[in-house]
Structure 1
Amino acid sequence: MKGHYYKRDCKCQVEDCTCKWTFVVDNGINPKTGRRRQKSKGGFSTKHEAQMAAFAFLDEVKEGKSVVKKDIKFKDFIQDWLEYYIDRNAPKPGTIDNRLYSINKLMPFFAHLKLNDITEDIYQEALHTLKSQNLTRNTLEGIHTTGKMIFNFATSKKVIETNPTEQAYIRKDQKTIIEDDVEELPNFFERNELLMFLDTVNEKGLYMDEVIFTTLAYTGIRVGELVALQWKDIDFKKHTIRITKTYYNKKNNTRNYQLVPPKTLKSRRIVSVDEIVINALKKHKLEQEALIRHFGDRYSDYGYIFANFNRYPGYPVLIKLVETRMTRILKLGELNKGLTPHSLRHTHTSLLAQAGATLEEIMDRLGHYDEEVTRKVYLHFTTEVKRAACDKFSKLLQR
């Protein structure tokens, strides 16, 4: 064993002085510098105690339990974990944002604590405090999931011996009896309201409004999927739209956008569309080709269907533009101002359910594997259909 023992800062020059002993031992080679790493620790009353502590440390190193890392604070360990997480999982930008959000929520509780000092009780108390902040259960579960991943990584790297998240839980709300138990449904258009909305679009819409909102209403695709569409995704002969990507732009910077995989594997799909959508797309294609000729070399032709036509012509439009355009139409049509482009997705679900489509067919069309809101909307309208059938039966037996 390479190393030595000495009395740090001792100036007594007397063999039996009361100064404390320190050990210094080699701890491998630093792979970045090629230099040897050393571990030192003091505070021992005798040289023998320092020797025993050094031997114990080297035994732990051999077993992969080096205590070198036990002094790492939570805030300093996070960057190591984040780099590992991104390198291993290649997550989408939105997923990384969710992890960073969770980390920021955990920081006030753990930032300056050493990882080894974070006990089960401390971690559990943090979850209880977050629960008291009226965060949604989904948000709390996301934070807890991130916490578990961080401490699992710390355990696997022998930074800590005990994982404080293993038995942790999110406290459930106490159930109460509700006299009128009515599930809250998301905002969406009724059939007549949707027709009024589309009529307003046709009468008072701006450039691209008709094709944007017709496509959203008749397909139920997500706005991010819409904005990412390119002409190569449209099959005019088969009347289909291919969904293979979605648009991500956290800072709403037109030029700095990303195309990322759809929300889930199920979201990669081919959607059959009506003649109305195909005709709207054909009309828009002719208008866009005229604009491209007008802009000439100033147009960056990446093949996007819904492309900018003012600043940075040819780049895909921002999702914010679709939201702003819808707000304008709702105001002009004196319709529910609480609706959003995503409401058209719920509207598509409700109308499909009323038309007799099965839940499986709707999920397949929308690119869901299992989505609670879609299921709620579907069950609401199928219940209405069943009630109508029951009423018809009752009327048939009336005397």
Structure 2
Amino acid sequence: MWSEQLPNGKIKFFERYKNPYTNKWRRVSVTLETDTSRARKKAQRILDEKIKLKLISLSTSDMTLLELYNMWFPYYKKLVKRSSWVKVEPMMKHIYRYIPKDVLIAKIDEELVYKLIDNMYTFGTLSLNYTKQTRTTLSTMLNFAVSKKLISSNPVLKTKVTPKKEEEARIRKRIEDKYLENEEFKQILEYMYSKPKRKTHALISEVLYLTGLRYGELQALRVRDYDGKTLSVNGTLDYTSVQISEAKKTTPKNLYSYRNIDLPNRVIEIIEELLLENRLLVKGYNDDSFIFLASHKKNPLSIRSFNSVLASTEEELHFKKHLTSHIFRHSHISLLSELNLPLKVIMERVGHSDPKTTLAIYNHVTKNARKKAIDALNKL
């Protein structure tokens, strides 16, 4: 507590307190007639009571978006993978462009959120998916604020990102582009095997196609994860913003991603071939070593290198579908759907927790199968 004498001779006493939500210092004051010991004790009692009442009825409406971000982000980093939280900063730059850092979180409404969506996507140049991800990041922050009783509701939940008309057409077409027909896969594989430098990429493509593994899951597989018949999927490789040599094995995408995959004979042949080559050519190769290596080095083949070869293959073949590592995973779902395996079995094999993608491919493939059946019957 400190005091100041006013021009009229009276004494004004001050005390500071910190807002626990914003970490900002505030002050209260009281004016008394004198600056005696008795007056000071009285002033302290009054100020303490004022602070107590302030804290009890504390309004969090003076917390800004930046202050919320600084409070939320350390929690978020503890709950998600590095590959997820490193994407937040670029998204926040877009958010701050249309919802200023110093805006009070209590003042954020649907109109402000739609301003962000419209400038990024509706009338902007950013993609539908990236805009959705950015909106989700803002929503996660505001859900955190609700959980901490900083605000009463999350306005983002009342908004949505509506695809543009041309986007809707692309989405409908995209289902077929998500996976390869068996003949298309054979064409790609034959072409890659015809290029000696692409043998490793071809082998990996076969494994992805026949197992439905995510590329990061394949990279993280070590010799000890293979028992001759199955693969134990228990992690993924994270090298976001670092070199592949500095990659760290982390937990898989979700709890459903922990799984044992029964292997078809062709995958067993490929793994046995790679293990034999690696033991001959890689010094110190052991049970802790990775199975799928880049040209007999100790590190796995990076997804950038793998996708780069696929891009070259796509261009050289004038292939109509966009080739990335993930198309083989979707193709595996298509393959299992054609075999009439139950959706639950397919989801368990590929480690899906959300049936959305699996179901979209499953329904599309089975719909085509029904059409082929009718066409065949009509020809009888």
Matched, 1:93 2:82: yes
Unaligned runs of 5+ in 1: 31-36
Computed over aligned residues only, the root mean square deviation of the Cα atoms, in angstroms, reads 3.9
Q: Of 281, 284, 306, which residue of structure 2 is paired with 1:291?
A: 281
- Aligned mates of 2:17, 2:291 — CA distance in 1: 60
Conserved in 2, the CA contact under 8 Å of 1:235 and 1:241? yes
Matched, 1:83 2:83: no
Q: Count residues in correspondence.
A: 361
- Aligned mates of 1:113, 1:389 — CA distance in 2: 62
Q: Of 323, 326, 342, which residue of structure 2 is paired with 1:339?
A: 323
Question: What is the correspondence of 1:56-75 to structure 2 with a 5 Å cutoff?
Answer: 56-61=50-55, 63=56, 65-66=57-58, 71-75=62-66
**Counterpart position of 1:304:** 290
**Counterpart position of 2:366:** 382
Question: What is the correspondence of 1:234-249 to structure 2 with a 5 Å cutoff?
Answer: 234-236=226-228, 239-249=229-239
**Counterpart position of 2:336:** 352
Conserved in 2, the CA contact under 8 Å of 1:252 and 1:318? no
Name the SS for the 2:174 alignment partner.
coil
User: Cα distance, 1:301 vs. partner?
Assistant: 8.3
**For residue 94 of structure 1, what is the amino acid of its counterpart?**
S
Conserved in 1, the CA contact under 8 Å of 2:16 and 2:28? no
**Counterpart position of 2:95:** 106
Name the SS for the 1:255 alignment partner.
helix
Q: CA offsets per residue over residues 324-352 of structure 1, 9 Å max, x none?
A: 23334445556447322222222222233
Conserved in 1, the CA contact under 8 Å of 2:132 and 2:161? no
Moved more, 119-128 or 258-267: 119-128
Name the SS for the 1:315 alignment partner.
coil
CA pair 337-85 structure 1, distance change in 2 beyond 3 A: closer
CA pair 356-257 structure 1, distance change in 2 beyond 3 A: same
Alignment TM-score, normalising by the size of structure 2: 0.78
User: Cα distance, 1:253 vs. partner?
Assistant: 0.8
**For residue 339 of structure 2, what is the amino acid of its counterpart?**
A
Conserved in 1, the CA contact under 8 Å of 2:14 and 2:47? no
Question: What is the correspondence of 1:1-399 to structure 2 with a 5 Å cutoff?
Answer: 3=1, 6=4, 13-15=7-9, 23-25=13-15, 27=17, 39-41=26-28, 55-61=49-55, 63=56, 65-66=57-58, 71-87=62-78, 89=79, 91-115=80-104, 118-120=107-109, 123-129=112-118, 130=120, 132=122, 133=124, 139-154=130-145, 157=148, 160=150, 162-163=152-153, 165=155, 168-170=158-160, 172=162, 183-185=173-175, 186-206=177-197, 208-236=200-228, 239-293=229-283, 302-309=288-295, 313-330=297-314, 335-336=319-320, 338-396=322-380
Alignment TM-score, normalising by the size of structure 1: 0.74
Conserved in 2, the CA contact under 8 Å of 1:22 and 1:40? no
Name the SS for the 1:208 alignment partner.
helix
| Structure showing the higher helix proportion among its residues | 2
Unaligned runs of 5+ in 2: 34-42
